[in-house]
């Protein structure tokens, strides 16, 4: 499936009251929201979600940050959703993100970078499954 991706409005962006502004970017970029919820991850959930990064030096800090407050998890649909959402959010490091991207406009630093985006169709599917059951996704009519 190449038309769905997984996004997070991370705790920094929720705390900084940017949720609505980021929703607006999602919608104006042409994504359909197939599911969304506000939740606070436990640190062990964050460790599970970011398991691929467990050997990286920032893993502890990252999982602490991701469980530090509420975040919004979303399933987003659009043609080429994974690539399109990565373009919309910009580079991991906001200093390298292009003008007009979400991270350029809302990230604080390389860690507290406002949003998450899946990096492949395979991971999008896994990540959606981590937070949503099939029945929570809006059906396409
Ligand atoms: P991505 O979110 O752009 O896909 P990844 O390399 O998959 O970037 O890293 C996952 C998350 O880990 C980043 O979004 C960011 O929050 C955090 N991160 C990545 N690199 C660093 C770093 O060098 N220092 C601190 N945190 C980092
Ligand atoms: Mg990544």
b (16+ CB within 10 A) / e for 37-73: eeeebeeebbbebbeeeeeeeebeebbebbbbeebbb
From the CA of 117, how far away is ligand 2's center (Å)?
A: 7
CATH code at 4-132: 3.30.70.141
pLDDT digits (tens, 9 = 90+) for 122-136: 999 999 999 999 999
> What ranges do the domains of the chain cover?
4-132
Tell me, yes or no, if the pTM score tops 0.85: yes
From the CA of 139, how far away is ligand 1's center (Å)?
A: 32
Does the structure show a pLDDT above 80 at 91?
Answer: yes
120 lines ligand 1 (CB under 6 A): no
Does the structure show a pLDDT above 90 at 85?
Answer: yes
Query: From the CB of residue 17, how many other CB atoms can be counted at a distance below 10 Å?
Result: 8
Does the structure show a pLDDT above 70 at 8?
Answer: yes
Question: What distance in Å separates the CA atoms of residue 6 and residue 16, rounded to the nearest whole number?
Answer: 21
Residue 1 has what pLDDT?
Answer: 62
121 lines ligand 1 (CB under 6 A): no
pLDDT digits (tens, 9 = 90+) for 15-55: 999 999 999 999 999 999 999 999 999 999 999 999 999 99
């Amino acid at each position: 499936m190449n038309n769905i991706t997984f996004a997070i409005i991370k705790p920094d962006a929720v705390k900084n009251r940017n949720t609505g502004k980021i929703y607006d970017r999602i919608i104006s970029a042409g994504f359909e929201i197939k599911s969304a919820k506000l939740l606070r991850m436990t640190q062990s959930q964050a460790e599970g979600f970011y398991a691929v990064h467990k050997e990286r030096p920032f893993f502890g800090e990252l999982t602490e940050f991701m469980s530090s407050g509420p975040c919004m998890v979303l399933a987003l649909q659009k043609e080429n959703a994974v690539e399109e959402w990565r373009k919309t959010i910009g580079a991991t490091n906001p200093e390298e993100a292009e003008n007009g991207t979400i991270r350029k406009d809302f990230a604080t630093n390389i860690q507290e970078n406002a949003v998450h985006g899946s990096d492949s169709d395979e991971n999008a599917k896994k990540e959606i499954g981590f937070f949503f059951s099939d029945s929570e996704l809006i059906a396409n009519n």
